């Protein structure tokens, strides 16, 4: 690619807020043994698409025939309203304290605003459209969590950071609170140096803090134990062994990132779309339990949370209610009354979770 074309590409990326980008080729086979071992051990749980795509995920040509380069971008998502008011490390420490205290429902930081799939895909599409207008016809496909790509390995190869023990990408100047998106293209863009060092060192903070011991080895998360997977992807009953540990996390889990020392360098989002909707920064359990299915669908319109559907949403709320530690006596009796009301017209699946919650609240009363 000519020098002036590459500089146009970079300028356009900047204009779209995509200045944290890197470029790599399509040789992604280095992570094949890890991926295969993870799949062989069933650690993907019910994520059938992972198994279905298997090692095909490592073949960029499956997504776009003729791909020669993959552009990887980092897009920070913590709203400035949260991160600019205090030092990132204080904000994350307080957030971790709050989630561990189980006094309000916790929604993962990335999921409180507009659906990130839409935000990122649209941003990448607009950027690619401008590249097209400036440089002429080129083949591309934009991806954000929407195709089975090994996005962390792509980002590492594109020089954007290393894979932490918790499996997420960490950048030494930005930590890990960002989304990754990719553009697969047939443009012969100049490549970046891969990020070959790993700066986790002796640290095991993420493994130690994980409520369910889901990080079973350095860089290996057993999805079947991970609260993020259990609250979002898992469609069945929450296994009893993880219910207490889930606390009041109703959508996703951030503990391993909140504990990571590199997030003292986290940067705020540039997209206002990631600001919390419906007060999800301080959600109220009783209010959420009051939502009908129609209300859930209306309030979560345009949000990633909508994809779990009302059934999983209510299941997660029931678990949170059973673990709720913030209730004063009066509030606790209202909570119990609400759970009983839901129980009166629940199907077997939900009734079982509600019974568990009622049992936990009663055992708290009796000091059990």
Q: Summarize as ranges the residues that interact with ligand SF4 (CB under 6 A).
A: 164-166, 170, 200, 203-206, 210-212, 214-215, 221, 226-228, 253, 255-256, 259-262
The least CB distance from residue 65 to ligand SF4, in Å, is 35
- CB of 206 closer than 8 Å to CB of 173: no
The CA distance from 29 to 23, in Å, is 17
Q: Between 213 and 362, whose beta carbon lies closer to ligand SF4?
A: 213
> Is 145 one of the catalytic residues?
yes
Measured from the CB atom, the residue of 232 and 285 that comes closer to ligand SF4 is 232
Structure tokens of 361? Answer: 């609240």
Residue nearest to ligand SF4 (CB): 164
The distance of closest approach from Cβ of residue 127 to ligand SF4 in the complex, given in angstroms and rounded to an integer, is 30
Q: Are 263 and 83 in contact (CB under 8 A)?
A: no
Task: Specify the residue, 142 or 210, whose C-beta has the smaller distance to ligand SF4.
Answer: 210
Nearer to ligand SF4, 67 or 316 (CB): 316
CB 69 within 8 A of CB 182: no
Q: To the nearest whole angstrom, how small is the minimum distance from the Cβ of residue 188 to ligand SF4? A: 34
Catalytic residue among 25, 145, 281, 355: 145
Instruction: Find the shortest distance in angstroms from Cβ 159 to ligand SF4.
Output: 18
Residue 308 or 358: the one with the smaller Cβ distance to ligand SF4 is 308
Residues sharing a CB contact under 8 Å with residue 248, sequence separation 6 or more, in sequence order: 99, 102, 103, 104, 105, 106, 285, 320, 323, 324
Q: Which residue has the tokens 């993020």?
A: 228
Do residues 220 and 183 touch, judged by C-beta distance below 8 A? no
* Pair 326, 291: CB distance under 8 Å: no
Q: How far is the CB of 169 from ligand SF4 (least distance, A)?
A: 10
Residues 6+ apart with CB under 8 A from 124: 18, 73, 142, 144, 181, 183
Q: By the 8 A CB rule, do 161 and 172 touch? A: yes
d(CA 2, CA 187): 11
Active site residues: 145
């Amino acid at each position: 690619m000519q020098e002036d074309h590459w500089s146009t590409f970079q300028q356009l990326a900047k204009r779209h807020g995509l200045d944290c980008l890197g470029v790599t080729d399509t040789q992604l086979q280095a992570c094949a043994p890890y991926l295969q071992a993870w799949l062989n051990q069933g650690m993907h749980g019910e994520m059938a698409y992972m198994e279905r795509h298997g090692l095909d995920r490592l073949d960029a040509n499956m997504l776009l025939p003729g791909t020669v380069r993959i552009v990887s971008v980092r897009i920070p998502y913590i709203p400035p309203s949260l991160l600019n008011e205090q030092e990132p490390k204080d904000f994350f420490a307080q957030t971790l304290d709050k989630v561990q205290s189980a006094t309000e429902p916790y929604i993962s930081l990335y999921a409180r605003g507009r659906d990130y799939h839409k935000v990122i895909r649209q941003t990448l599409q607009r950027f690619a459209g401008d590249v097209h207008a400036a440089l002429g016809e080129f083949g591309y496909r934009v991806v954000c969590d929407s195709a089975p790509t090994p996005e962390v390995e792509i980002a590492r190869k594109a020089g954007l950071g290393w894979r932490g023990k918790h499996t997420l990408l960490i950048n030494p100047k930005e930590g890990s609170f960002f989304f990754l998106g990719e553009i697969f293209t047939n443009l012969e863009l100049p490549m970046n140096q891969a990020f070959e060092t790993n700066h986790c060192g002796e640290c095991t903070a993420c493994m130690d803090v994980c409520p369910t011991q889901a990080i079973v080895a350095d860089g290996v998360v057993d999805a079947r134990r991970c609260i993020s997977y259990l609250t979002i992807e898992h469609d069945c009953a929450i296994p009893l062994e993880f219910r207490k540990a889930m606390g009041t996390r109703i959508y996703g889990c951030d503990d391993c990132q909140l504990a990571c020392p590199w997030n003292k360098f986290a940067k705020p989002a540039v997209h206002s779309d990631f600001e919390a909707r419906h007060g999800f920064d301080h959600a109220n359990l009783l209010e959420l339990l009051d939502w009908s299915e129609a209300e859930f669908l209306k309030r979560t319109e345009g949000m990633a949370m909508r994809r779990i559907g009302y059934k999983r949403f209510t299941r997660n709320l029931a678990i949170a209610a059973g673990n709720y530690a913030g209730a004063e006596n009066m509030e606790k009796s209202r909570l119990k009354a609400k759970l009983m009301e839901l129980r009166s017209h629940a199907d077997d699946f939900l009734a079982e979770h509600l019974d568990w919650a009622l049992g936990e609240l009663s055992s708290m009363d009796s000091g059990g």
